[in-house]
Chains A and B, each alone.
Chain A
């Protein structure tokens, strides 16, 4: 079986060898070095001290990969609306499927979902599997997992993509565990090899590390992907693909959960949906000064978001926070105003197409990721910029 073996005779300085492991998994005792349960098999020790640490490869049997065909996308929806991440995943699935000559499947479950099923045919999936049952009206874990299981047993897809929504992140691990297979979370890069193995790259450690992960011996290969990582395909005017209604016995849809109530949160448009975002950072000295950010955002037809300190100060709603402990956004344009660019903030916005950053500190970290680093004072730049845009729009209005 795959493991790391230690050549004790090659150990010259045990402390040095111990310190190579970022996970504190190497221990030095009287009997020599050993590897404990903290080992993540990252093989850093093997790379650094190949004479001491040897990786012995894994000969475990693999499933017959030819029995698993197709790339399936779980269609997430909120009531009657398909969550846009589902379209983005169809787009990604189509690109990968073309490489290996596999079909693209959609799995749609819910109550009264006929319209959504028809709509999916405009996005180029080969087959849309539909489970339409009153028991599936609300998301409850057991019936949803049962339907997912039924679909996988029937269709045997090689790859299953699930949006990283609240529902997706709860459902995907449940189903992956049911099939004793791997699930890679929050992938930002996906590609498929000829042998249908999925290359998955994801950030961990709050975006400080990227990990390249694969699932070489198991099928299906599960991955979750957050909203706005991939591009949705254009909606075609014509329909293509087939709709396949699926049956499942009521006995499989029992649940120990009763949904008592669904409460809408106050209707604040979410920053994830904005194309243009003006971000206010701690450079704003007073709450009133935020009006500059709001005015600029209004003129651009965008929204204002903030860094965490402003939320902590109570100047803004937590839903407006971008970053690791806030929202991930991928707008077309972000203008950061007096934001230092802490990694926890950047993790939530570095996929933005255009990043303009205003900061008076030429060494500000935000400039590492900005496309346009504007070194200056927001109190000088913003009022003038607002005036210029206003003047510009009046000109357009009169011309």
Chain B
């Protein structure tokens, strides 16, 4: 069994500030890390590896320094890492990202199971997984919170819905996106760090893909365009009340009455 996990490198913190005048993001101390939701995806694959003797690939698309997330996945126990990096992939929205990843996945041979995180902490769309599945023409289940069983033919998963859980048996190959409560992710191990230090990370570039039409990748292949980014508007209406506890609660009761809540 071969399992491929898609992982993404994201900024170390999402608490970015924008300078309102220049529209420039202030990036002091912003370093990079693995998308935290992808740790759950890796953990899921590693559990199945232990149970089923599966081989676990990790795949990321990003700049050369995204190799760091592959190294981290090695330290958790992933077997092979693939880094899709090429200028032609730059500026990709969800569609172009999913397309490039689906092309990259095809170069890895047949995977029985693909696992994505639920979402990222930067772009934050949760759309890449389902779009990859569409390009690969395989079924997908999003928001998987538990795996009941897996064999060579099918996987039984629990999909988390607002008010219910739906238990689905899905034929392989398929793609799942996993939620945070699926398994607690293990920490990278120092032993594995030493052991995998020399393990190569395979670069997958534009030239390695089957579809080499530049118009399908990066900015060219992206139907959405970000016109502008700006900080969220702060709320303007703002009354400050001070006083003794009693005075404040009296004023509060009056306000609640005035607003017709009591």
A binds B: yes
Contact with B along A306-340 (1 / 0, CB 8 A): 00000000000000000001000000110000000
B-side contacts of A287, CB under 8 Å: none
Main secondary structure of the interface of B (DSSP, over half): mixed
Which residues in window 155-214 of B have CB below 8 A to A? 156, 159-171, 174, 180
Are the CB atoms of B223 and A174 closer together than 8 Å? no
Contact with A along B132-170 (1 / 0, CB 8 A): 011100011111000000000000100111111111111
Contact with B along A240-269 (1 / 0, CB 8 A): 000000000000000111111111110000
B-side contacts of A265, CB under 8 Å: 163-165
In angstroms, Cα B201 to Cα A168, docked, is 36
B257 CB to closest chain A CB (Å) equals 7
Are the CB atoms of B130 and A174 closer together than 8 Å? yes
A164 CB to closest chain B CB (Å) equals 9
Are the CB atoms of B126 and A204 closer together than 8 Å? no
**Interface residues of A, count at CB 8 A:** 111
Which residues in window 1-29 of A have CB below 8 A to B? 1-3, 19-20, 22-25, 27
Determine which of B131, B235, B251 lies in contact with A369 in the assembled complex, contact meaning CB atoms within 8 Å: B235
User: Is B122 positioned at the interface, with any CB of A under 8 Å from its CB?
Assistant: yes
Are the CB atoms of A36 and B85 closer together than 8 Å? yes
Most buried by B among A22, A25, A362: A22
Main secondary structure of the interface of A (DSSP, over half): mixed
In angstroms, Cα B121 to Cα A184, docked, is 16
A307 CB to closest chain B CB (Å) equals 17
User: Is B98 positioned at the interface, with any CB of A under 8 Å from its CB?
Assistant: yes
A7 CB to closest chain B CB (Å) equals 17
Are the CB atoms of B166 and A42 closer together than 8 Å? no
Given known contacts A37-B63, A180-B223, A258-B169, is B143 in contact with A170 (CB within 8 Å)? yes
Determine which of A142, A257, A343 lies in contact with B15 in the assembled complex, contact meaning CB atoms within 8 Å: A343
User: Is B2 positioned at the interface, with any CB of A under 8 Å from its CB?
Assistant: no
Are the CB atoms of A206 and B156 closer together than 8 Å? no
User: Is A212 positioned at the interface, with any CB of B under 8 Å from its CB?
Assistant: yes
Q: Which residue of A lies closest to B118 (CB)?
A: A169
Determine which of A264, A333, A380, A393 lies in contact with B259 in the assembled complex, contact meaning CB atoms within 8 Å: A333
User: Is A389 positioned at the interface, with any CB of B under 8 Å from its CB?
Assistant: yes
Determine which of A35, A354, A388 lies in contact with B87 in the assembled complex, contact meaning CB atoms within 8 Å: A35
Are the CB atoms of A261 and B167 closer together than 8 Å? yes
Determine which of A60, A203, A260 lies in contact with B167 in the assembled complex, contact meaning CB atoms within 8 Å: A260
A150 CB to closest chain B CB (Å) equals 16
User: Is B234 positioned at the interface, with any CB of A under 8 Å from its CB?
Assistant: yes
Which residues in window 5-62 of B have CB below 8 A to A? 11, 14-18, 22-25, 27, 30, 32, 61-62
Are the CB atoms of A218 and B63 closer together than 8 Å? no
Q: How many A-B residue pairs have CB under 8 A?
A: 323
User: Is A368 positioned at the interface, with any CB of B under 8 Å from its CB?
Assistant: yes
In angstroms, Cα B253 to Cα A382, docked, is 11
Given known contacts A209-B231, A373-B241, is B252 in contact with A214 (CB within 8 Å)? no
Are the CB atoms of A205 and B162 closer together than 8 Å? no
Given known contacts A211-B228, A265-B165, A381-B252, is B219 in contact with A374 (CB within 8 Å)? no
Given known contacts A24-B32, A213-B227, A381-B249, is B139 in contact with A142 (CB within 8 Å)? yes
Given known contacts A42-B226, A166-B162, is B95 in contact with A257 (CB within 8 Å)? no
Are the CB atoms of B14 and A185 closer together than 8 Å? no
Interface band, chain B: 35 or more
Are the CB atoms of A389 and B253 closer together than 8 Å? yes
User: Is B245 positioned at the interface, with any CB of A under 8 Å from its CB?
Assistant: yes
Are the CB atoms of B90 and A183 closer together than 8 Å? no
B-side contacts of A165, CB under 8 Å: 162
Determine which of B63, B130, B171, B224 lies in contact with A215 in the assembled complex, contact meaning CB atoms within 8 Å: B224
Are the CB atoms of A392 and B229 closer together than 8 Å? no
Given known contacts A37-B87, A259-B167, A372-B239, is B223 in contact with A218 (CB within 8 Å)? yes
Determine which of A47, A142, A206, A208 lies in contact with B22 in the assembled complex, contact meaning CB atoms within 8 Å: A47
B14 CB to closest chain A CB (Å) equals 4
Contact with B along A178-208 (1 / 0, CB 8 A): 1011111110000000000000000111111
Are the CB atoms of B130 and A182 closer together than 8 Å? no
Are the CB atoms of B232 and A203 closer together than 8 Å? yes
A166 CB to closest chain B CB (Å) equals 5
Are the CB atoms of A41 and B231 closer together than 8 Å? no
Given known contacts A178-B134, A185-B127, is B169 in contact with A2 (CB within 8 Å)? no
In the complex, 7 of the A-B residue pairs with CB atoms within 8 angstroms, ordered by the A residue number, are A36-B63, A41-B90, A173-B130, A186-B124, A212-B227, A215-B223, A388-B250
A-binding residues in B (CB < 8 A): 11, 14-18, 22-25, 27, 30, 32, 61-66, 84-87, 89-95, 98, 121-131, 133-135, 139-143, 156, 159-171, 174, 180, 215, 218-220, 222-232, 234-235, 237-246, 248-253, 255-257, 259, 261-262
Cβ-closest 8 pairs across A and B: A380-B245, A182-B223, A22-B25, A182-B224, A185-B125, A384-B249, A173-B127, A177-B134
